[in-house]
Amino acid sequence: MSRRSGILEFAVLGLLRESPMHGYELRKRLNTSLGVFRAFSYGTLYPCLKTLVASGWLIEETGSTPEDALAAPLAGRRAKIVYRLTAEGKEHFEELLSQTGPDAYEDEHFAARFAFFGQTSRDVRMRVLEGRRSRLEERLEKMRASLARTRERLDDYTLELQRHGMESVEREVRWLNELIESERAGRDLKGSASGGLAQHDTTSGATGGLPRPGDDPRPDTPDDTAT
């Protein structure tokens, strides 16, 4: 499994743990709540859903209400497919939530992990936050060393881009310091974790590599009957 597909499966399981969803609704939640998935298609989501169903972590149901089940035949369309987390899927997601290895600190995976901090134990949150901070501090040190070596050979615009990247990493380190301090003091963040993530840019400027808003030029066309 690729790192990208692993992150998507983690996020899908996390969202479906909250409630069952149609594929269209699930994609909208991934787009709006988890910025890391702003640019991905149904062609990416549905194979992921099929894999999770085949693994026994999700089940497919026809329609979420009696009205859905009746409306589809009358309209000559197949009923919408609703995806629901199984007991095994919930157990698997909880196992994923407890992991604090190096992958949890990387740009894309950290964004997805942070979005589900509300479902994560405090000690795991601390390890992930401290790991992320350590990773960024290492990155910042390398950036500073590189800039010191090449400063005289860079034109003004390239130099400004380097500085911008460093400032972005420095901002995230400060943000992480505040979060770690709150966790140590036993304080919870106000509002949802995903909301907090949306307000803070974890892309680390030019160094993060997360998709930006507007990266997906395709319209949001619903296709809930895919199987």
* Residues 191 and 198 sit within 8 Å (Cβ to Cβ): no
**Average confidence score pLDDT of the chain:** 79
pLDDT for residue 71: 47
Q: Interhelix angle for 23-33 vs 3-18, to 10°? A: 110
* Residues 121 and 98 sit within 8 Å (Cβ to Cβ): yes
* Top-confidence residue, 50 or 75: 50
- Dump the DSSP string for 51-90: HHHHTTSEEEEE-SSHHHHHHHHHHTSPPPEEEEE-HHHH
Tens-digit pLDDT profile for residues 87-99: 999 999 999 999 9
What amino acid occupies position 77?
R
* Residues 3 and 109 sit within 8 Å (Cβ to Cβ): yes
The Cβ-side half-sphere exposure at 138, using a 13 Å CA radius, reads: 8
Tens-digit pLDDT profile for residues 98-146: 999 988 988 878 988 998 999 999 999 999 999 999 999 999 999 999 9
Our CA angle for 112, 117, 121, nearest 5°, is 135
Confidence of residue 2 (pLDDT cuts 50, 70, 90): low
How far is it, in rounded angstroms, from Cα 182 to Cα 122? 11
Proportion of the chain above pLDDT 70, given as a percent: 69
pLDDT for residue 99: 92
**In the predicted structure, residue 74 carries a pLDDT above the cut 70:** no
Closest CA to 3 of 162, 105, 109: 109
SS3 33: helix
**In the predicted structure, residue 220 carries a pLDDT above the cut 80:** no
pLDDT for residue 43: 78
Output DSSP code: residue 15. H
Q: Which two tokens stand for residue 85?
A: 């987390």
**In the predicted structure, residue 193 carries a pLDDT above the cut 70:** no
* Residues 204 and 168 sit within 8 Å (Cβ to Cβ): yes
What's the pTM value of the predicted model, to 2 decimals?
0.72
SS3 193: helix
Q: How far is CA 58 from CA 43, 81, 101, 116, in A?
A: 18, 12, 25, 19
Q: Which residues, listed in sequence order, are joined to residue 21 by a DSSP beta bridge?
A: 83
Tens-digit pLDDT profile for residues 34-64: 665 666 666 788 899 999 999 999 999 986 4
Q: How far is CA 48 from CA 52, 72, 197, in A?
A: 6, 25, 24
